[in-house]
Chains A and B, each alone.
Chain A
Amino acid sequence: MFLKRQLPFVITLITSLILIISYFSPHPTISPLRSIFQDWYMIIVAFTMFVGILSLVKVSIKKIKREKGIEVLYPVITLVSLIVMAFFGFLKGGLDNPGFDFMFEYIMVPLQATMFSLLAFYIASASFRAFRAKSTMATILLITAFIVMLGRVPIGEWITGDLLHFTESSFLSRFHIPNVTEWIMNVINMAGQRAILIGAALGVMGTSIKIMLGIERSHLGGE
């Protein structure tokens, strides 16, 4: 019970208190603790990465034993690519090793970029559902998103520029679509994001205090 509950709680409380005190204290012994603890945290995170790798290997081996036919091939691909890329990474040159660099530039980067670009198609279908003006709120969202998108493509510039000549009048130029987009992004959007940021920050601080005091224990399995 001591190892399961009390000791982890004491470790959490002491480390978080030291970190807070070290921020406010200029004392030469306490002040550097902030960066030392952050380095230590990163070392532990690096080990958790290793836990993840071991877990991936374990799951892949299980799959190889369980699956049949072409399905066996996929976990093999995961393991082989993992071993080959890690092998190059630990050779001379490390991150700059030509083999590692080749795999990063011509395999990982195209795969990652294409995975994210695939979202363009799904976001298009999400837009179709979100952009149905069912209520006032949905209509506001629709109009804003439409203006922002229009303001970032040449046709937006063309409609109120070459077609309607809004740019020729100092008053009407305020309603030139790219200018409206810029205003939305820099005034309403920025202020809205700020409200969300402040609200979220208060939430994070509240949760952090609950963790420090041992009220929130879900990271220890809720015990």
Chain B
Amino acid sequence: MIELSLTQAIGYTIGGFLTLCIFSFLYKDNPLYKFAEHLFVGTSAAYWFVTFYHNIIRPNVINQFKEGNYWPIIPVILGIFMLFRLVPSLSVLSRMGIAFSVGVMAGYQIIRHLETNILRQMGATMQGFDKISFTAGNIGNAINTILILLVVIAGLVYFFFSVEHEGAVGGVAKFGMWMLMITFGATFGYTVMARISLLIGRVLYLKEQWWLSIKYLLGI
């Protein structure tokens, strides 16, 4: 049995009511759903605004200024330029902030993707080959290692459109497409199960916390 405080009981009651408001959309769009939807927009915007202030602006700008480091004035000016996006006559200034952000991301993404998504993934694909063995008991692992390499190569050939998918290349691409279909099927099945478990979580919330809170508030 969960012990509840008055704050928790009120909180869970509100949470349960809002959960039901969202679920009411399954019947049709209605005022209760719209109420919850707009509440969600407002609270989420406030949450991210406050989080960005406390986690980014305060340590990287305000505290830096207090310590005598005035370099963050550059991104602050670029950030203020971004606000001019809402003033049509000055909106051209916002391009400086966008240009800087896009430049940082472009440079960062080249390095990050090269390192993490290409070199490391290729390394992991070939890693098993140094200890591959076809002795009894290891055949399963050996086949899996080879299969992983084949699927990765076939998948990449399927995505390679500079050569026409005919003959041998076409065959490999077709095998790649089958394997990608299995991947998509597995991902789809996994996503369905994840969403269902979220739904189960909400139903359990209503059944346990919410119901208990109502009983607590009614003194039952």
A and B: bona fide binding partners: yes
Select from chain A the residue with minimum beta-carbon distance to B31: A70
For the complex, what is the distance from the CA of A174 to the CA of B52, rounded to whole Å? 50
1/0 per residue, CB under 8 A from B, across A80-110: the answer is 1111111001100011000010111111111
* Interface magnitude class on chain A: 35 or more
Interface size of B in residues (CB-CB distance below 8 Å): 118
Q: Which residues of A contact B192 (CB under 8 A)?
A: 120, 123-124, 127, 145, 149
For the complex, what is the distance from the CA of A51 to the CA of B108, rounded to whole Å? 24
Q: Which residues of A contact B25 (CB under 8 A)?
A: 118
Q: Which residues of B contact A121 (CB under 8 A)?
A: 26, 199
Q: Which residues of B contact A142 (CB under 8 A)?
A: 185
Q: Are A189 and B82 in contact (CB under 8 A)?
A: no
Q: Which residues of B contact A100 (CB under 8 A)?
A: 50
Q: Which residues of A contact B4 (CB under 8 A)?
A: none
Q: Which residues of A contact B202 (CB under 8 A)?
A: 110, 113-114, 117
For the complex, what is the distance from the CA of A220 to the CA of B29, rounded to whole Å? 38
1/0 per residue, CB under 8 A from B, across A60-81: the answer is 0000000000100111011111
Select from chain B the residue with minimum beta-carbon distance to A85: B46
Q: Are B184 and A81 in contact (CB under 8 A)?
A: no
Name the distance in Å between B87's Cβ and chain A's nearest Cβ: 11
Select from chain B the residue with minimum beta-carbon distance to A89: B50
Q: Are A111 and B43 in contact (CB under 8 A)?
A: yes
Q: Are A44 and B106 in contact (CB under 8 A)?
A: no
For the complex, what is the distance from the CA of A47 to the CA of B118, rounded to whole Å? 33
Name the distance in Å between B172's Cβ and chain A's nearest Cβ: 12
Q: Are A108 and B31 in contact (CB under 8 A)?
A: no
Q: Are A46 and B43 in contact (CB under 8 A)?
A: no
Given contacts A8-B98, A137-B181, A208-B110, contact A148 B186 (CB under 8 A): yes
For the complex, what is the distance from the CA of A81 to the CA of B44, rounded to whole Å? 9
Q: Are A114 and B23 in contact (CB under 8 A)?
A: yes
Given contacts A118-B23, A140-B181, contact A189 B186 (CB under 8 A): yes
Chain B stretch 154-195: residues in CB contact (< 8 A) with chain A: 154-156, 158-159, 176-193, 195
A41 adjacent to chain B (CB < 8 Å): yes
Q: Are B45 and A52 in contact (CB under 8 A)?
A: yes
Q: Which residues of A contact B140 (CB under 8 A)?
A: 174
For the complex, what is the distance from the CA of A119 to the CA of B176, rounded to whole Å? 30
Contact of A147 among B26, B97, B189, B195 (CB under 8 A): B189
Q: Are B151 and A192 in contact (CB under 8 A)?
A: yes
A172 adjacent to chain B (CB < 8 Å): no
Q: Are A123 and B195 in contact (CB under 8 A)?
A: yes
Contact of B189 among A44, A45, A146, A193 (CB under 8 A): A146
Q: Are A148 and B185 in contact (CB under 8 A)?
A: yes
Q: Which residues of B contact A89 (CB under 8 A)?
A: 46-47, 49-50, 53-54
Q: Are A50 and B22 in contact (CB under 8 A)?
A: no
Contact of B47 among A7, A41, A104 (CB under 8 A): A104
Q: Are A137 and B178 in contact (CB under 8 A)?
A: yes
Select from chain A the residue with minimum beta-carbon distance to B191: A123
Q: List 8 A-B contacts (CB under 8 A).
A: A15-B99, A43-B56, A43-B61, A90-B50, A117-B201, A140-B185, A201-B113, A204-B110
Further contacts, 10 of them, CB under 8 A, given A3-B95, A195-B152: A12-B102, A15-B103, A23-B111, A47-B79, A77-B35, A137-B177, A153-B193, A187-B151, A191-B148, A212-B103
- B: residues with CB less than 8 A from A are 7, 10-12, 14-16, 18-19, 22-23, 25-26, 31, 34-54, 56-57, 60-61, 71-72, 74-76, 78-80, 82-83, 85-86, 92-93, 95-111, 113-114, 116-118, 121-122, 124-125, 140, 144, 147-156, 158-159, 176-193, 195-196, 198-199, 201-202, 205
